[in-house]
Amino acid sequence: MSKSKVIQVEGLTKMFGDFAAVNSITFEVEKGEIFGFLGANGAGKTTAIKMLIGISHPTSGKATVAGFDVYTQTEDIKKNIGYMSQKFALYDDLTVKENIIFFGGIYGLPRKIIKEKSDALIKELGLENVTNQLVGSLPLGWKQKLSFSVSLIHDPKIVFLDEPTGGVDPITRRQFWEMIYKAANQGTTVFVTTHYMDEAEYCDRVSIMVNGKIEALDTPKKLKEQFQAESMNDVFLELARG
């Protein structure tokens, strides 16, 4: 296995009865890459992700995530990935600090490291004045950024982001993408699933899933050229409408 390939997927398939939710998908993601994983609702995105993060067993095919096999080493996979979704991020009824300590704790970080990390994280995000405030009382944008930082607290090799910036105001959204670029620059692989095509434009490469299959995979620029489209949105419409 090449060292720089963090995710390798070959012919991965998930059947539900006769229905192939994920139909033999193949792709690779490199270290430090921002990879967009797109698809309409029901295209099989969620099922594919579940297999990659080790909570669903594939029917057939091969896949390794962070060097670990998705069939046999799911526990190791879970230790090496981070996850953040817009729907569930942090506990609203815990304070900023309690959230950080909790999430550090579930990844088994030693107390001393959690302390260091949480101080650094709070400083970086400029949250010094609100460490003891409930997360629920923070503006949405702050929550998103905090939640992203928390998903990186255990230095995962790959972080999975599920529609990370939908509904966020444009400025916070940019700040968010800057954080993502920074994480990628430091070698973390960022795996973004979304059906907001403008989020796709920010990725290094994107794959588009339609009916369980990956129908396109390239940089946004090349995809736009290939489909002679102005935006990823048009590319997507072209593909999804067939």
Residue ranges binding another protein (CB under 8 A): 40-42, 139-140, 166-172, 174, 177-178, 181-182, 184-185, 195-198, 201-202, 219-221, 231, 233, 236-237, 240-241
Q: What CA–CA distance (Å, rounded) separates 61 from 43?
A: 18
Q: How far is the CB of 74 from another protein (least distance, A)?
A: 29
Nearer to another protein, 34 or 51 (CB): 34
Name residue 237's amino acid.
Answer: L
Q: How far is the CB of 3 from another protein (least distance, A)?
A: 20
CA Rg, the chain, in Å? 18
Q: How far is the CB of 240 from another protein (least distance, A)?
A: 5
Beta partners for residue 23, in sequence order: none
Name residue 128's amino acid.
Answer: E
Q: How far is the CB of 241 from another protein (least distance, A)?
A: 6
Nearer to another protein, 27 or 177 (CB): 177
Q: Which of 6, 38, 43 is nearest to 159 (CA)?
A: 6
- 213 phi and psi, to 5 degrees? -120, 150
Q: What CA–CA distance (Å, rounded) separates 176 from 228?
A: 29
How many other CB atoms are there within 10 angstroms of residue 233's CB atom?
Answer: 14
Nearer to another protein, 72 or 185 (CB): 185
Name residue 166's amino acid.
Answer: G
C-alpha of 137 from chain center: 25
Nearer to another protein, 73 or 231 (CB): 231
Q: How far is the CB of 31 from another protein (least distance, A)?
A: 14
Nearer to another protein, 69 or 215 (CB): 215
